[in-house]
């Protein structure tokens, strides 16, 4: 059974930093692309960042470029999202997602999410 468990969310002030973690189990992590999405009430889930199975390729939504960094540690089956210079508009539930590498664009597995709240 595949499990993605996010952690590291919390309440911070604008300008602060947080690091989210997502621990994966039940899948061959080294063969999976990983991503972070976020969602606020009443809005669709939004792509934030992704990293390829080997970690050699990353992508970001424009609003977080230069502030967020996605990384992975395959030995620990974990993907991270380092979030710096946080803004109130970054407030959301952040979800980890996984998909088999080179097998299409659908993100097949999702975590339960972790809340990030940024106060002004």
pLDDT computed for residue 101 by the predictor: 92
pLDDT computed for residue 25 by the predictor: 97
pLDDT computed for residue 23 by the predictor: 98
pLDDT computed for residue 105 by the predictor: 81
Q: Each residue of 23-33: pLDDT tens digit?
A: 999 999 999 99
Q: Each residue of 78-112: pLDDT tens digit?
A: 999 999 999 999 999 999 999 999 877 899 999 99
pLDDT computed for residue 88 by the predictor: 97
Region for 81 from its dihedrals, namely left if φ exceeds 0, alpha if ψ lies in -120 to 50, beta otherwise: beta
Q: Each residue of 38-94: pLDDT tens digit?
A: 999 999 999 999 999 988 899 999 999 999 999 999 999 999 999 999 999 999 999
Contacts with 119 (C-beta within 8 Å, 6 or more apart), sequence order: 11, 12, 13, 14, 88
Distance CA 69, CA 58 (A): 9
């Amino acid at each position: 059974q595949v499990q993605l468990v996010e952690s590291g969310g919390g309440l911070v002030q604008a300008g602060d930093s947080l690091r989210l973690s997502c621990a994966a189990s039940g899948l061959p992590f080294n063969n999976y692309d990983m991503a972070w999405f976020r969602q606020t009430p009443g809005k669709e889930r939004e792509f934030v960042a992704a990293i390829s199975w080997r970690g050699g390729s990353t992508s970001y939504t424009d609003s977080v470029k230069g502030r967020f960094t996605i990384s992975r540690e395959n030995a620990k089956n974990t993907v991270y999202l380092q979030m710096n210079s946080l803004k109130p508009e970054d407030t959301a539930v952040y979800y980890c997602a996984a998909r088999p590498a080179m097998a299409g664009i659908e993100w097949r597995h999702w975590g339960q999410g972790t809340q990030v709240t940024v106060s002004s």
